[in-house]
Amino acid sequence: QVQLVESGGDSVQAGGSLRVSCAASGFTSSRYCMGWFRQAPGREREGVVATDSAGSTRVADSVKGRFTISKDNAKNTLYLQMNSLRPEDTGMYYCAAGPAALCVAAPLAPYKYNYWGQGTQVTVSS
């Protein structure tokens, strides 16, 4: 059974840093396109950053230079390091897994991913 469990969400001040994690089970995440997405109240879910099996990444312009995705294949865990956080980064953060080809075709398109976690809340106050 495929399962993704996010953790690490918190409330932080603007300019601060936070790392959220996504523990995968039931599949080998290193073989999939893995991504982080976020959704603020009243807004559509948007892609933040994605990574393929080789470690190549695609980063949304809104977080470029501030957010970094990484993975520990031994732990089957995906991470999102967020620095210089802004109030507009507030939202529910989700990790997702999709077919490997997705990282070439549309890595930041949420509707293409097959598996989703339940999300972890990140709140950035000014």
For residue 70, list its beta bridge partners: 79
Residue 94 near residue 39, CB atoms below 8 Å = yes
Interatomic CA distance for residues 16 and 63, integer angstroms: 14
| Confidence (pLDDT) at 46 | 97
Q: pLDDT tens string for the chain (126 positions)?
A: 899 999 999 999 999 999 999 999 998 887 899 999 999 999 999 999 999 988 899 999 999 999 999 999 899 999 999 999 999 999 999 999 999 999 999 999 999 899 999 999 999 999
Q: Of 104, 102, 66, which Cα lies nearest the Cα of 82?
A: 66
For residue 1, give the 3-state DSSP assignment: coil
Query: How is residue 18 written in tokens?
Result: 């936070």
| Residue 108 identity | L
Residues 6+ apart with CB under 8 A from 42: none
